[in-house]
Amino acid sequence: MLVATRVAVMCPRCAKAGANETQAMASRNASAPTSQPPHDDQRALRMHAALGVALDAAPSSRKVFRHLATVEHYLWRKGTLFLHDLSLQALQRTLEQLDSVAKAPLASGLAALRECLVDAIATRERLQRQAELLQPRSSFFVDHKLEVTEASLSDFDRAMGGRG
C-alpha cells in the first residue's frame, strides 16, 4: 500500500529512470492510482516536461547531470518555489548543466526554467551581498576592541627593538 502511495506522487520519468522495483510493484498492483502532480503550478509542470524531454534525448543523462535530475524531480513534486531554497553554488551548477544540455532554440519550458534559475541566482547574490554589508569587515570597526594612544619616540624605539 505504501508503494502505491509513493507511485502516486512520483514523476513518471523519475519512476521510469530510477525506480525499477517500484514500477514492478505498481504494474503488479492494477488498482494503483495514476501519477498526478501534488501541486497546481502549471508553469512548473511545463518546465518539468521540457526538461524531461531534454534529459531523455541523451542516454544516462540523469546520472551525469544530477543537479538537473534533482530539479526535474522537485519541479514535479513541489513546483518552482523550491528553487529559492537551493544554495548559490547549486543554482549556478544547475544553470551550467542546463546550458550544456539544452539546444540553441530553447523550448518554452526550458526558457522559463532558465529564467527562474537566473532570477534565483540574482536573488541569492543580492541577499549574500546584503548579509556581507551587515557584517563588520574586521574588528577594527568595533570600538571596544581597539585602543588608540599616542606613543613617545622612546616607546617606538623599544617596540622596534632598539634600532636606530
What's the confidence (pLDDT) of residue 142?
Answer: 64
What's the confidence (pLDDT) of residue 38?
Answer: 83
Nearest residue to 78 (alpha-carbon basis) of 43, 123, 130: 43
CA angle, corner 49, sides to 48 and 55, nearest 5? 85
What's the confidence (pLDDT) of residue 8?
Answer: 35
8 Å CB contact between 8 and 35: yes
Mean pLDDT in order along the chain per 10 residues (164 residues): 36 50 39 65 92 91 94 93 93 95 88 95 94 75 70 86 64
What's the confidence (pLDDT) of residue 3?
Answer: 35
DSSP 49-73: HHHHHHHHTSTTHHHH-HHHHHHHH
What's the confidence (pLDDT) of residue 21?
Answer: 35
8 Å CB contact between 97 and 65: yes
Q: Return the C-alpha cell found at 54.
A: 531534454
**Ramachandran assignment for 79, one of left (phi > 0), alpha (psi -120 to 50 degrees), beta (any other):** left
86: number of Cβ within 10 Å: 20
CA angle, corner 71, sides to 18 and 110, nearest 5? 115
What's the confidence (pLDDT) of residue 11?
Answer: 59
What is the pTM for the complete model shown?
0.65
